[in-house]
Amino acid sequence: MNPPAALDIKGLTKRYGDGTLALDDLDLEVPDGSFFGLLGPNGAGKTTLIGAVCNLVRPTSGEIRVFGNPGGGMMARRMIGIAEQEPNLDKFLTVYETLLYHGGYYGMGREEAGERAEQMIDAFDLRNKRDVEAPKLSGGMRRRLLLARALLHRPNLVILDEPTAGVDLELRHELWSYIRVLHEQGTTILLTTHYLEEAEALCDEIALISGGKIVARDTAAGLKVSHGAETLEQVYLKTVAGGRIALAEEAARA
Partner 1 sequence: MLKLWKQTILAPVIAALLFMVVFGLSLGNSISEINGFEYRVYIVPGLIAMAMAQAAYSNNSSTIFQARNDRYLDDILSAPMPAWQVHLGYLIGGAMRSLLIGVVLTAFALPITGAPLVHPAEALLAVLLLTTAFGALGIIVGVYAQSWDNQSFINNIVILPLIFLGGVFYSVSRLGSPWEQISHLNPLFYVVDATRHGFLGSSDVNPVISLSIVAVITIGLVSWSQYLFSTGHRLKP
Residue 82 near partner 1 by CB under 8 A: yes
Q: Which of residues 102-131 bind partner 1 (CB under 8 A)?
A: 102, 105-107
- Where does this chain touch partner 1 (CB under 8 A) — which range of 33-41, 74-82, 167-175, 206-214? 74-82
Q: How far is the CB of 105 from partner 1 (least distance, A)?
A: 4
Q: Which is nearer to partner 1, 87 or 222 (CB)?
A: 87
Neighbours of 89 (CB within 10 A): 17
d(CA 226, CA 216): 10
Among 58, 110, 173, 244, binds partner 1 (CB under 8 A): 58
Closer residue to partner 1 in complex, CB, 74/225: 74
68 or 222, CB closer to partner 1?
68
In sequence order, what are the residues at sequence separation of 6 or more whose Cβ sits closer than 8 angstroms to the Cβ of residue 20?
A: none
In angstroms, rounded to a whole number, what is the distance separating the alpha carbons of residues 12 and 22?
Answer: 10
31, 33, 57, 242: residue in contact with partner 1 (rule CB under 8 A): 57
Among 3, 10, 25, 56, binds partner 1 (CB under 8 A): 56
Report CA-CA distances (Å) from 8 to 11, 119, 232: 10, 32, 25
Rounded to whole angstroms, the Cα distance separating 189 from 203 reads 9
Q: Smaller CB distance to partner 1: residue 117 or 199? A: 117
Based on the shown chain and the rule CB under 8 A, indicate whether residue 51 belongs to the binding site for partner 1: yes
**Interface segment toward partner 1; rule CB under 8 A; list 5-13, 36-44, 99-107, 222-230:** 99-107
What is the distance of C-alpha 123 from the center of its chain? 20
Told to check if 21 binds partner 1 by CB under 8 A, we report: no
Shortest Å distance, C-beta 243 to partner 1: 26
Among 3, 10, 11, 16, binds partner 1 (CB under 8 A): 16
**Is residue 149 close enough to count as binding partner 1 by CB under 8 A?**
yes
80 makes contact with partner 1 (CB under 8 A): yes
Tell me the C-alpha distance between 100 and 208, whole Å. 36
**Torsion angle of alpha carbons 139, 140, 146, 148, nearest 10°?**
-150
Enumerate binding residues for partner 1 (CB under 8 A): 16-17, 51, 54-58, 74-75, 77-78, 80, 82, 84, 86, 88-92, 102, 105-107, 149
